[in-house]
């Protein structure tokens, strides 16, 4: 088991510097354009694929880093470049985590490569969980999956919303209800292969931030997928449902549902996204404060500005440490006994909102214009306290974990 460390090794530092170079030279210069266009930045994804950043191999190397720091380190650097483009590059990873968390080795080997495509034909993937009436309340999910035993097929019907890459993805991972009586414990995840009949894109959302990332509804109308597209397989699902029914009768410990298994694994990565955005805004504000003069001196000479920058940097470093701890725990198989994954996501996302707002304030009127990137960073940061579990839900998870009580 890898010991927890705050020091990156030489290989990790080399990867970090390589990613930082790509973020500075390719992502940053294109960020404002793709934010205005509100379109998927396919040329940037293509460039990332050409040098090996957008690939299954790179993702696997970081995911299986024994220290657990590969994914958060890589994510922070890419999101330092830009959150919208960063999510376009990293968004496929959420679907990949869904397969890794719930799938068999054969499913992992079959479907994850198809999520990325190749250098000459890049693809993206989508994880579809939220619904118009079921976001934080996963028990309210209505998308149904019914097994057709005669054909060994699952039939999916429903509407998903807020799906990153929804409708444009090569592979969709869809969470659906298989046993309504079990609530959130009666869910399962399914692969919807490319060009499957009945799946279509619904509304594409025009967003406040992360505009370069495609977000849309996914409509499923009598979508038929083969039995082998049930992640984990039917035998495993039947066993899990049987345990859930037995525990429901006895009032025993509940089992985790398919969507929550994915979110638990990805929350520290979302924290790393937030850290990257916060760090970018802090650095912009620091440089501005050192060069902007008022009353004959740089504004950083004023305690009101300097103390804000001190607090910003302190919060960013604290957020990164929480993210790294949770990532190390997940990688080494340590249980989140105090909801450490939720802690990292909660704190980092709140820090991103706070720090980007402070950056806008330090830049004053300039910070309120699109001529300076902190305006975009402030808009982007708003999403971190919302997606993959709002800050309120994270606090609920933490409080329930600490108290052992069904707090509502």
Q: Which residues are catalytic?
A: 388
**Pick from 247, 264, 268: nearest CA to 71:** 268
Whole-angstrom CA distances from 257 to 77, 138, 186, 188 are 31, 9, 7, 7
| 303 contacts: CB under 8 Å, gap ≥ 6 | none
Q: How many CB atoms lie within 10 A of CB 48?
A: 24
The token pair that represents 86 in the structure block: 């960063």
Residue bearing tokens 């402030």: 378
The whole-angstrom separation of Cα 104 and Cα 337 is 26
| 204 contacts: CB under 8 Å, gap ≥ 6 | 167, 214, 215, 216, 217
56 backbone dihedrals φ, ψ, rounded to 5°: -65, -40
What 298-305 contacts at long range (C-beta under 8 Å, 24+ apart), as own/partner pairs, is 299/362, 305/362
The whole-angstrom separation of Cα 299 and Cα 367 is 14
CA atoms 93, 95, 316, 299: torsion sign: positive
The whole-angstrom separation of Cα 20 and Cα 133 is 39
Burial (CB count within 10 angstroms: exposed 0-12, middle 13-18, buried 19+), residue 148: exposed
């Amino acid at each position: 088991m890898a010991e927890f460390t705050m020091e990156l090794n030489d290989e990790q530092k080399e990867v970090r510097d390589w990613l930082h170079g790509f973020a500075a030279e390719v992502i940053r210069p294109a960020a404002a354009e793709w934010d205005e266009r509100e379109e998927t930045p396919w040329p940037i994804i293509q460039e990332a694929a050409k040098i090996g950043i957008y690939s299954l191999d790179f993702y696997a190397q970081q995911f299986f880093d024994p220290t657990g720091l590969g994914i958060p380190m890589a994510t922070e650097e890419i999101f330092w470049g830009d959150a919208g483009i960063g999510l376009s590059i990293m968004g496929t990873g959420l679907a990949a985590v869904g397969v890794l968390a719930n799938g068999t080795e054969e499913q992992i080997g079959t479907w994850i490569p198809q999520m990325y495509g190749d250098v000459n034909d890049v693809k993206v993937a989508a994880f579809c969980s939220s619904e118009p009436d079921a976001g934080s309340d996963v028990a309210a999910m209505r998308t149904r999956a019914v097994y057709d035993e005669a054909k060994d097929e699952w039939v999916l019907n429903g509407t998903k919303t807020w799906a990153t890459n929804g409708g444009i993805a090569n592979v969709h991972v869809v969470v659906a209800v298989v046993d309504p009586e079990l609530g959130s414990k009666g869910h399962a995840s399914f692969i919807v292969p490319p060009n499957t009949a009945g799946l279509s894109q619904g509304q594409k959302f025009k967003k406040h931030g992360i505009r370069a990332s495609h977000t849309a509804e996914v409509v499923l109308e009598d979508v038929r997928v083969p039995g082998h597209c049930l992640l984990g397989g039917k035998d495993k699902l039947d066993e899990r449902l049987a345990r859930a029914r037995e525990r429901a009768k006895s009032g025993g410990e509940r089992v985790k549902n398919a969507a929550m298994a994915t979110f638990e694994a990805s929350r520290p990565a979302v924290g790393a996204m937030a850290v990257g955005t916060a760090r970018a805004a802090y650095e912009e504000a620091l440089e501005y404060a050192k060069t902007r003069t008022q009353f004959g001196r740089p504004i950083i000479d004023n305690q009101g500005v300097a103390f804000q920058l001190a607090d910003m940097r302190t919060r960013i470093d604290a957020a990164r440490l929480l993210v790294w701890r949770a990532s190390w725990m997940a990688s080494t198989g340590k249980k989140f006994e105090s909801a450490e994954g939720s802690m990292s996501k909660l704190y980092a996302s709140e820090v991103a909102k706070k720090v980007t707002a402070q950056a806008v304030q330090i830049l004053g009127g300039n910070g309120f214009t699109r001529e300076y990137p902190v305006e975009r960073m402030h808009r982007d940061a708003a999403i971190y306290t919302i997606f993959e579990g709002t800050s309120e839900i994270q606090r609920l998870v933490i409080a329930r974990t600490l108290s052992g009580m069904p707090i509502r």
